[in-house]
């Protein structure tokens, strides 16, 4: 997936803000990992930025393009990660404009991805 060139700093800020509102044990789990540079880099590169790409480009892609990119995004989420990313899909905060005009069925597909593709 060719990632959308969204600036990383605002995304990190949105994630850090969301982390403050998480409930324990998700907050403790995510905060501990987020403070580790390798985890943070990996989370941004493999989970957060691809999600932003799907949100940004997903509203203009054909169904085939969207479904292909979503299927190609083969990551598994921990519960706390899903809780951090869910508001990005729901249109929280400064990323809210990205969700504007996103077809509802694609929003549901992204939410299903967070709910179903989990680590055991």
Q: Measuring CA to CA, which residue among 59, 73, 65 is closest to residue 103? A: 59
> Is 91 among the domain residues?
yes
> Is 1 among the domain residues?
no
Please tell me the predicted confidence (pLDDT) of residue 110: 93
Asked whether the beta carbons of 39 and 94 are under 8 A apart, the reply is no
> Is 69 among the domain residues?
yes
**pLDDT tens sequence across 87-104:** 888 876 545 555 667 888
> Is 21 among the domain residues?
yes
> Is 54 among the domain residues?
yes
> Is 94 among the domain residues?
yes
> Is 88 among the domain residues?
yes
Domain coverage including residue 55: 8-116
Q: How many domains does the chain have?
A: 1
> Is 52 among the domain residues?
yes
Q: How far is CA 79 from CA 22, 27, 36, in A?
A: 11, 11, 18
- Give the global pTM: 0.86
**pLDDT tens sequence across 40-84:** 999 999 999 999 889 888 888 999 999 999 999 999 999 999 999
> How would DSSP label each residue in 7-27?
-HHHHHHHHHHHHHHPPTTHH
């Amino acid at each position: 997936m060719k990632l959308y060139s969204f600036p990383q700093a605002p995304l990190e800020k949105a994630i850090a803000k969301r982390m403050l509102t998480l409930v324990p044990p998700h907050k403790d789990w995510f905060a501990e990992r987020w403070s580790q540079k390798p985890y943070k880099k990996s989370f941004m590169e493999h989970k957060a930025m691809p999600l932003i790409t799907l949100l940004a480009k997903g509203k203009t892609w054909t169904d085939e393009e969207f479904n292909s990119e979503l299927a190609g995004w083969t990551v598994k989420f921990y519960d706390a990660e899903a809780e951090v990313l869910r508001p990005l899909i729901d249109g929280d905060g400064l990323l809210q404009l990205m969700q504007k005009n996103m077809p509802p069925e694609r929003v549901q597909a992204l939410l299903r991805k967070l709910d179903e593709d989990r680590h055991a």
